[in-house]
């Protein structure tokens, strides 16, 4: 996410976010982890998050292999 010279306070105001610090945290999480960093993780154990990531990766791999076999 690039701000293109727009101050974080202005973006927070336009989006209705009262805490600019919260916006900074969201931006950092997105930069470090991508979409996964913005997902809700409260009450979830790390093992479950890792397993979900692995399942998504395997499903994607299966889809790619199925398309390859069709060719």
**What's the pLDDT tens digit per position in 13-43?**
888 888 889 888 888 888 888 887 787 767 6
How far is the C-alpha of 29 from the C-alpha of 36, rounded, in Å? 9
Task: Place 62 in a pLDDT band, splitting at 50, 70 and 90.
Answer: very high
pLDDT at 59 over 50: yes
Note whether 18 and 12 are within 8 A (CB). Answer: yes
pLDDT of amino acid 51: 80
Distance of CA 5 to the CA centre of its chain: 23
């Amino acid at each position: 996410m690039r701000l293109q010279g727009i101050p974080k306070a202005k973006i927070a105001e336009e989006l209705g976010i009262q805490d600019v610090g919260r916006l900074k945290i969201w931006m950092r999480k997105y930069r470090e982890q991508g979409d996964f960093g913005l997902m809700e993780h409260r009450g979830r154990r790390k093992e479950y998050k890792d397993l979900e990531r692995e399942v998504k990766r395997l499903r994607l791999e299966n889809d790619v292999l199925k398309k390859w076999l069709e060719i």
